[in-house]
Amino acid sequence: MAEMVFSLAVGIGLLYFGAECLVRGSVSAAKRFGISPLFIGLTVVAMGTSLPEFFVSVMAALSGKSDISVGNIVGSNIANIGLVLGLSALFSPIVVQRSLLKMDLPFQITVSVMFLLLISDRSLSRPEGLILLAGFIVYFVMAFRNGTAAPVEEDEAPRPSRKPFADFMLAGGGIIMLAGGSSFTVTGAEGIARMAGISEAVIGATVVAVGTSLPELFTSIVAAMRGQYDLSIGNVLGSNVFNLLGIMGVSALARPLTVNPQFASFQVPVMILFAVLLFPMILTGKKEQNIYVHILSRQEGLVLLGLYAFFVFKVYFN
């Protein structure tokens, strides 16, 4: 028991400090190169925090465990919106850029619907994997153009460090700590749950599914608390797009996947519903200096958390 508690404590510590390093290093690098923190959040940070999903899904695909490969991605995307954004908004209401409503959120909904259509025949083939990867390249190019065109405000980021290498080391070290922290935390929590007599079904639907989303969770919360809202929400939306297009694309290329019909009938529609619900939530806001600001409030964060809890409840009883 003591070993499991120690593993859990070490994991949480690594997740926190890894998130701190990743946020500081990424924002400093964005400031240095004149790129908006939103682009960094949507791409570099999003892919870095999705490393646990990448390794779990690709290895599961290679092992012929299609349910784990697909379920990990779909469950993580639902957790990213319901749990990660919900908790982040509770810590600090998140200010949302209008560009997210115009491009990134509609793009995520579109690729989610496309993914649903691709798996409707209960399979995901190599050609379909190539289609997903091509979609991710298109998204990255679009995000890069928007990121380099957007002006970076002076108060939007701290002063960059004296050496560019320090920024990359800080961000890279943060990603490594996040990956290690996620592994330690899942191992400790899973061990404690088993010793407490909790069933494998509950462990799989909660500990393992949430475990791969812990890097996004800590990174988004730390970014929100530091006022780096673009990183906070950009990390979530970017991770969801990368999960569906990049990770599922690579997984299908590694080995064609047989998809459980339950994903098309329940989990993926729920994933789409969570993304669609963000629209009316983000549209609410307030006027500041005659400018309407879009905000994801604490109350809306509570709603997301409640919906996620209901989803876990349904998965358990199904």
Domain holding 276, by residue range, is 2-317
Are the C-beta atoms of residues 177 and 18 closer than 8 Å to each other? yes
Q: So what's the pLDDT on residue 252?
A: 95
Q: How confident is the model at residue 19 (pLDDT cuts 50, 70, 90)?
A: low
Mean pLDDT over each residue of the chain, to the nearest integer: 81
Tell me the backbone φ, ψ of residue 34, rounded to 5 degrees: 70, 30
CA distance 314 to 318: 6
Q: What total number of domains does the chain contain?
A: 1
Are the C-beta atoms of residues 103 and 64 closer than 8 Å to each other? no
Residue for token pair 């810590």: 91
Rg of the chain over all Cα atoms, to the nearest angstrom: 19
Cβ-in-10-Å burial (0-12, 13-18, 19+) of 205 comes to buried
Q: What is the pLDDT of residues 53-101, one digit of tens each?
A: 887 788 878 888 888 788 888 888 999 999 999 999 998 888 888 878 8
Q: Tell me, what DSSP letter sits at residue 35? A: -
Q: So what's the pLDDT on residue 132?
A: 96
Contacts of 225 (CB under 8 A, 6+ apart): 91, 92
Percent with pLDDT over 90 in the chain: 29
CATH number of the domain to which 260 belongs: 1.20.1420.30
What is the side-by-side strand order in the sheet with 291-296? 94-96, 291-296, 285-288
Q: So what's the pLDDT on residue 183?
A: 72
* More confident: 291 or 210: 210
Average pLDDT of 221-236? 84
Q: Tell me, what DSSP letter sits at residue 156? A: G
Contacts of 153 (CB under 8 A, 6+ apart): none
Secondary structure of residue 292 in the 3-state scheme:
strand
CA distance 247 to 129: 9
